[in-house]
Amino acid sequence: MCDRSKLLLGSIRCMPYLERDGDVHILFLGARDGADNPENRFNPEWIDATHALLDEVEASTGPAALVTTSAGKFYSNGLDTDWVFANLGEITWYLDRVHTLYTRLLAFPMATVAAVQGHAFGAGAMLATSHDFRIQRVDRGFYCLPEVNLNMPFTVGMSALINSRLPKQTAVEAMTTGRRYGSADALAAGIVEATAPEESLLSDAVAKAGALTSTRGANLAGIKTRIHVDLLAALNTATDDSNFSFGK
């Protein structure tokens, strides 16, 4: 069940939490409908909580793999725009902090599978794209990069992530049109590797991850790091006014 033990800014939020199915760790991105953060947006506390749970997963022993998912309407709706507009002076720090989730997953020392049960928009879509594999629910949810319609540029790292992990023409379309991809379109475009109905989405993701638990370890992390060496360098490029200007 949802861990409500964390008190943030004077209110209780349903933060990310862990479950386990055999050797597969399942990281729920957080809030169910009606909680304070029902869209699983990336506020700084949420990012810190997610990293803490990834620390816990990495500290486990034995064969293992990781699945991320959520409940309700959203897998993740990306950047916490309320926080951003209240803290514009910290926007570059914040975006670099967002990048750390992508770099962590790209080089994670075990197989990672995103079970995308709802909408994945913007930074949330990029979070799914940072996994090794993605499975999208067939009857609900869109993958979308709406930045072009929000008059918001991509950071150097975000642009590299999309261009590196998606087929080139898919990246062009997704980034320049803001198209919303349902599961069939996302599969055809190479955004996801599989689709599944709601009732089997999580079990399918767990089965995919469970078949790869023996690969867990430093060698896998090294292989992933070398696969993504240029992408990781781009994501580690510090964001500043020369490569990101919000709302212009």
- Mean pLDDT of the region 188-196: 98
Instruction: Read off the pTM.
Output: 0.92
Dihedrals φ, ψ of 42, to 5°? -85, 70
Contact 16, 43 (CB under 8 A): no
User: What confidence tens digit (pLDDT) does each residue in 110-156 have?
Assistant: 999 999 999 999 999 999 999 999 999 999 999 999 999 999 999 99
The pLDDT of residue 204 is above 90: yes
What mean pLDDT is reported for the chain? 91
Contact 16, 30 (CB under 8 A): yes
pLDDT at res. 38:
81
Tokens of 138: 């067939």
Q: Of how many residues is the chain composed?
A: 248
- CB-based contacts of 165, cutoff 8 Å, min separation 6: 129, 130, 231
**For residues 116 and 136, what is the distance between their CA atoms, to the nearest angstrom?**
5
pLDDT at res. 12:
38
Tokens of 196: 């599944």
Return the closest-CA partner of residue 69 out of 136, 14, 21: 136
User: What confidence tens digit (pLDDT) does each residue in 23-80 have?
Assistant: 999 999 985 544 566 899 999 999 999 999 999 999 999 999 999 999 889 999 999 9
What is the distance of C-alpha 14 from the center of its chain? 17
∠ Cα 198 127 50 (to 5°):
95
**For residues 185 and 16, what is the distance between their CA atoms, to the nearest angstrom?**
29
